[in-house]
């Protein structure tokens, strides 16, 4: 018989942490905690596969599943001594979703299930607290109506606000039993009015409908958007956890809370979290009452008057903090836990690996190595390479004077400036227009997720460090300030009212400092990040584990310097054409292109020579003996010429030339398909004098730099767009000739490798022949992708997104390497090339060189290095290390 249900209870469970795919994260970890002997209320988990069954069978549940659930509930009844639906000692249940990947707040939970007009009496009687029973009942009705019946919770909140106002109460906890009872009757009434349906009294009806509703929530808009953003497959489905309730709303010795075993923002080793006395479920994160700190240290840091849990419930706190230590040691990672205290008794309700900022992730990984909890390689493998981006982003320059408009809690570090917008929709629109915005909300909810993605940073006036905005922003790695209570959002007039009555309007520029919690006026100067400390240590470990080297694509001294500071070990691609666009040079370049004959071209090239030479000299000096790959001129010549009539007229005038003549030359150079036209080595073959000049500039610069720094340049000259060996032979002969000439003139022997880009399928296929001449290959995967697919990169944007939407391709092949097709050509070329020349150097210099998945591919294909843009160098170093660790192919 199919196993639909896994139980967990006193000191044991049928599943465990390795069953995440079956039980979902929450279920697997509840089972694991039960196995560890931690205090977990008994329950059962309905497997995630049941979710697919449910959708394939017109939203029904299999008979066997229902029987197994009832058996599981019987076991819970035995353990708790209570009866589900019982008129005395009723057992109440929580129905909780829990998918394989954590989807915080994306799906629904129903608490206190099993309450009805009868059991509420029994509950109150058992607890000796009728207020508690009616409070639980009203919560249940509200959640059930929302999750199962589809009635928005706002109608209930309105009723509650009216009642509170009528009795002059400030907090929910001020309401008496009788008042709650009245609220319950109003709730039931509004359900009938709004839905024409009564609130179900039968606990079993409640149970099946709630389970079905959790499954249904897998397909709600919020969850679907979240899955899309996080690439979670739909077929995973969600599991459902049915668990005995424990009560944090049973008076002043009861509480509910959330905690991180280390600070999720800084990574500091400290118990970090919040709790609320006499509260249930999501009260802590809902921002209804201000939560209290768990620790005294936390209380002091937040300047709160309200006692910490450490002070208020010292015994329970000690037990809790020991459990946190145990969980962390057991999982060997920082945990995010949820707990409830029922009349002094602690219950653990959830644990999972805690989301954290990159800075915190870094610190935690490094600290855990020092604590001998994990190895250096494990630490390296724990950091998501793309997340390093966050550390490479600017922070506010500490030297500038801050015009502070207000402040809140520093929920997610980093700083950003932008225009104020008040809605998620506006944020999305602004992003589409390329404007930078700060999303300002009272608080955020999962419906805002799109806008949060679009914003540079998020500011809320309500909520704590574990509020939705805070958690989501940390996950996304964008700066966030929450609970800026001294500021007020006036949505009607689209204003943010600051302390002292100053108002900021929609569109006004502000800067958020997510590290200090400050809201600053205007654009504020930023500073580049510090790359030492934990970052430096972790990167050292990565470098130790890495097999491939990481180079950079750099055309300018500025790029080269930045890349060096990020740890680049050479230049994998220096595109020389960029050197011809600047200032005066473009004129000389045009002279060269427009010259009538070779003599005219040589005259212009002679003027370009010293300019190129000085560029190269500077690059070589910056790279200090590291390898530098220089690519000969690649783009078609007409890219350097004016296009429109006005431009032509202007250039003709500047060059003292007839505009009609210039127009004719421009037209003559026109190509129907420049991508596949007169470019790359084809230029060097038509006009060898261009390649000669470039080779001379390079060699003379090598000599100059070597004299200057005393270090020999490890030079590689790269010929682009080769498809025939004869092409490479021709150009290489020209390069070799110049090397001998310059060597003779300077009295220095110049060492260098001559190689080619592999960017055309024919070159990949004929790699064994090309390698007879080429001393290295560099895979130019932009062109190789373009020519393998026959898709022009510049025109791809009009249909690639359609392909993705329609599921024809998953990823844009220009962003993440197409392993199957383009990858096949790379593997084949590497293999064939190395058969001819065993020491053939292999690298990649396309955009893919900075993409972690593509880097993993390069490791597997046995390339020697990857080359990427300067800001991606640390990402590539880390990704290359992780790939080597995963392959078990580490250096040493």
Choosing from 246, 362, 825, 885, the residue that interacts with ligand ADP (CB under 6 A) is 246
Closest CB 281 distance from ligand ADP, rounded Å: 4
Choosing from 254, 340, 358, 381, the residue that interacts with ligand ADP (CB under 6 A) is 340
- Paired strand residues for 755: 718
Contact letters for Mg ion, residues 280-319 (x by CB under 5 A): ----------------------------------------
* Under rule CB under 6 A, residue 94 binds ligand ADP: yes
Choosing from 68, 295, 350, 869, the residue that interacts with ligand ADP (CB under 6 A) is 350
Closest CB 279 distance from ligand ADP, rounded Å: 9
Choosing from 45, 265, 350, 856, the residue that interacts with Mg ion (CB under 5 A) is 350
Nearer Cβ to Mg ion (465/702)? 465
Query: 536 phi and psi, to 5 degrees?
Result: -60, -40
φ/ψ region of 185 (left if φ > 0, alpha if ψ in -120 to 50, else beta) reads: alpha
* Under rule CB under 6 A, residue 243 binds ligand ADP: yes
What does the alpha-carbon distance between residue 508 and residue 514 come to, in Å, rounded to a whole number?
Answer: 19
Stretch of residues binding ligand ADP (CB under 6 A), selected from 104-112, 392-400, 435-443, 495-503: 104-112
What does the alpha-carbon distance between residue 790 and residue 831 come to, in Å, rounded to a whole number?
Answer: 24
29 binds, among Mg ion, ligand ADP, none (CB under 5 to 8 A by kind): none
* Under rule CB under 6 A, residue 77 binds ligand ADP: no
Nearest-CA neighbor of 377 among 875, 860, 885?
Answer: 885
Q: Percentage helix, strand, coil, to 5, in the chain?
A: 50, 15, 35
Closest CB 30 distance from Mg ion, rounded Å: 11
Instruction: Decide the pairing of beta strands 865-868 and 549-553.
Output: parallel
Residues whose CB falls within 8 Å of the CB of residue 190, separated by 6 or more in sequence, listed in order: 151, 155, 156, 159
Stretch of residues binding ligand ADP (CB under 6 A), selected from 238-246, 523-531, 543-551, 582-590: 238-246
Closest CB 275 distance from ligand ADP, rounded Å: 10
Contact letters for Mg ion, residues 99-118 (x by CB under 5 A): ------x-------------
Choosing from 96, 546, 601, 841, the residue that interacts with ligand ADP (CB under 6 A) is 96
What element of type H or E holds 273?
strand 272-277
Closest CB 27 distance from Mg ion, rounded Å: 12
Residues whose CB falls within 8 Å of the CB of residue 692, separated by 6 or more in sequence, listed in order: 734, 737, 738
What does the alpha-carbon distance between residue 274 and residue 817 come to, in Å, rounded to a whole number?
Answer: 44
Burial readout 255-280 (b: 16 or more C-beta within 10 A, e: otherwise): bbbbbbbbbbbbbebbbbbbbbbbbb
The footprint of ligand ADP on residues 111-150 (CB under 6 A) is: 111
Nearest-CA neighbor of 774 among 752, 798, 758, 756?
Answer: 756
Closest CB 322 distance from Mg ion, rounded Å: 21
In this structure, the number of other CB atoms found within 10 A of the CB of residue 508 comes to 15
- Catalogue the active-site residues: 468, 845
In this structure, the number of other CB atoms found within 10 A of the CB of residue 513 comes to 23
163 binds, among Mg ion, ligand ADP, none (CB under 5 to 8 A by kind): none
Long-range contacts for 314-319 (Cβ within 8 Å, ≥24 apart)? Answer: 315/344, 316/341, 316/344, 316/345, 316/346, 319/346
Closest CB 168 distance from ligand ADP, rounded Å: 29
With beta carbons less than 8 A apart as the criterion, state whether 722 and 728 touch.
yes
Closest CB 98 distance from Mg ion, rounded Å: 8
Instruction: Decide the pairing of beta strands 238-244 and 93-99.
Output: antiparallel
Nearer Cβ to Mg ion (282/741)? 282
Choosing from 143, 323, 349, 884, the residue that interacts with ligand ADP (CB under 6 A) is 349
Q: Which two tokens stand for residue 650?
A: 């202007």
Nearer Cβ to ligand ADP (109/377)? 109
The footprint of ligand ADP on residues 781-820 (CB under 6 A) is: none
Side-chain-facing half-sphere of 165: CA atoms under 13 Å: 6
Contact letters for ligand ADP, residues 279-318 (x by CB under 6 A): --xx------------------------------------
What does the alpha-carbon distance between residue 395 and residue 809 come to, in Å, rounded to a whole number?
Answer: 38
Contact letters for ligand ADP, residues 37-56 (x by CB under 6 A): ----x---------------
Stretch of residues binding ligand ADP (CB under 6 A), selected from 105-113, 166-174, 435-443, 805-813: 105-113
256 binds, among Mg ion, ligand ADP, none (CB under 5 to 8 A by kind): ligand ADP
**Residues lying near Mg ion in the complex (CB under 5 A):** 105, 338, 350
**Residues lying near ligand ADP in the complex (CB under 6 A):** 41, 94, 96, 105, 109, 111, 243, 245-246, 256, 281-282, 338, 340, 349-350
């Amino acid at each position: 018989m199919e196993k639909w249900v896994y139980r967990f209870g006193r000191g044991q469970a049928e599943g465990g942490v390795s069953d995440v795919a079956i039980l979902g994260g929450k279920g697997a970890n509840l089972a694991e905690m039960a196995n560890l002997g931690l205090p977990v209320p008994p329950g059962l988990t309905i497997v995630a596969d049941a979710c697919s069954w449910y959708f394939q069978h017109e939203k029904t549940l299999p008979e066997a599943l229902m029987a197994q659930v009832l058996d599981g509930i019987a076991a819970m009844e035995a353990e708790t001594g209570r009866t589900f639906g019982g008129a005395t000692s009723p057992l109440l249940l929580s129905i909780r979703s829990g998918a394989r990947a954590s989807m915080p707040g994306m799906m629904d939970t129903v608490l206190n299930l099993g309450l009805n007009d009868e059991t509420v009496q029994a509950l109150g009687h058992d607890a000796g607290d009728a207020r508690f029973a009616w409070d639980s009942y009203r919560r249940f009705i509200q959640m059930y109506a929302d999750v199962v019946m589809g009635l928005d919770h706002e109608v209930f909140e309105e009723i509650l606000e009216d009642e509170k106002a009528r009795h002059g109460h400030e907090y929910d906890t001020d309401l008496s039993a009788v008042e709650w009872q009245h609220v319950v009757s109003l709730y039931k009434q509004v359900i009938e009015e709004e839905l024409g349906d009564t609130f179900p009294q039968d606990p079993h009806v409640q149970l099946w409908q709630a389970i079905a509703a959790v499954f249904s929530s897998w397909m709600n808009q919020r969850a679907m958007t979240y899955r899309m953003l996080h690439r979670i497959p739909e077929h995973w489905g969600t599991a459902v956890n049915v668990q005995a309730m424990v009560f944090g709303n049973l008076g002043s010795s009861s509480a509910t809370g959330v905690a991180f075993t280390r600070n999720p923002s800084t990574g500091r080793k400290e118990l970090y979290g919040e709790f609320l006395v006499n509260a249930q479920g999501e009260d802590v994160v809902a921002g209804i009452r201000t939560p209290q700190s768990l620790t005294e240290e936390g209380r002091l840091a937040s300047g709160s008057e309200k006692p910490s849990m450490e002070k208020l419930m010292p015994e329970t706190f000690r037990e809790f903090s020991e459990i946190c230590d145990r969980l962390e040691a057991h999982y060997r990672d920082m945990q995010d836990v949820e707990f409830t205290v029922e009349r002094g008794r602690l219950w653990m309700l959830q644990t999972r690996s805690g989301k954290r900022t990159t800075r915190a992730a870094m610190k935690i990984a490094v600290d855990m190595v020092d604590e001998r909890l994990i190895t250096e390689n494990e630490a390296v493998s724990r950091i998501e390479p793309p997340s390093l981006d966050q550390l490479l982003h600017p922070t506010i320059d500490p030297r500038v004077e801050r015009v502070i408009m207000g402040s809140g809690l520093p929920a997610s570090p980093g700083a950003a400036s932008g225009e104020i917008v008040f809605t998620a929709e506006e944020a999305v629109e602004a992003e589409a227009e390329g404007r930078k915005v700060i999303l300002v909300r009272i608080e955020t909810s999962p419906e805002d997720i799109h806008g949060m993605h679009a914003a540079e940073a998020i500011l809320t006036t309500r909520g704590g460090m574990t509020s939705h905005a805070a958690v989501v922003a940390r996950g996304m790695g964008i700066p966030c300030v929450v609970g800026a209570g001294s500021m007020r959002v006036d949505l009607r007039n689209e204003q943010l009212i600051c302390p002292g009555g100053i108002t900021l309007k929609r569109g006004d520029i502000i800067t958020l400092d997510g590290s200090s919690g400050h809201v600053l006026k205007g654009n504020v100067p930023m500073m580049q990040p510090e790359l030492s400390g934990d970052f430096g240590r972790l990167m050292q470990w990565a470098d130790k584990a890495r097999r491939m080297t990481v180079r950079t694509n750099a055309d300018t001294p500025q790029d080269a310097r930045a890349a060096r500071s990020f740890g680049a070990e050479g230049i994998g691609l220096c595109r020389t054409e960029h050197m011809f666009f600047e200032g005066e040079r473009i004129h000389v370049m045009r002279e060269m292109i427009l010259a009538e004959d070779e003599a005219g071209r040589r005259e212009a090239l002679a003027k370009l020579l010293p300019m190129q030479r000085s560029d190269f000299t500077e690059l070589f000096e910056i790279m200090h003996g590291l390898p530098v790959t220089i690519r000969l001129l690649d783009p078609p010549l007409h890219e350097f010429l004016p296009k429109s009539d006005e431009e032509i007229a202007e250039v003709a005038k500047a060059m003292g030339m007839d505009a009609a003549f210039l127009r004719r030359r421009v037209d003559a150079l026109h190509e129907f398909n420049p991508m596949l036209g007169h470019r790359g080595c084809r230029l060097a073959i038509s006009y060898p004098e261009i390649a000669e000049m470039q080779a001379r500039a390079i060699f003379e610069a090598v000599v100059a730099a070597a004299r200057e720094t005393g270090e020999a340049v490890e030079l590689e000259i790269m010929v682009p767009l080769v498809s025939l060996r004869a092409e490479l032979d021709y150009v290489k002969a020209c390069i070799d000739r110049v090397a001998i000439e310059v060597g003779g003139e300077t009295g220095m022997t110049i060492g260098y490798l001559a190689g080619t880009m592999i960017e055309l399928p024919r070159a990949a296929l004929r790699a064994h022949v090309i390698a007879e001449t080429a001393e290295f290959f560099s895979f130019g995967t932009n062109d190789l992708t373009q020519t393998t697919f026959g898709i022009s990169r510049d025109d791809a944007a009009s249909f690639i997104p359609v392909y993705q939407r329609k599921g024809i391709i998953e990823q844009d092949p220009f962003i993440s390497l197409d392993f199957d097709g383009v990858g096949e050509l790379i593997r084949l070329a590497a293999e064939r090339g190395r058969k001819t020349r065993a020491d053939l150097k292999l690298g990649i210099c396309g955009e893919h060189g900075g993409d972690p998945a593509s880097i993993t591919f390069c490791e597997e294909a046995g390339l020697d290095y990857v080359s990427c843009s300067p800001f991606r160098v640390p990402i590539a170093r880390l990704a290359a290390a992780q790939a080597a660790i995963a392959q078990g192919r580490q250096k040493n």
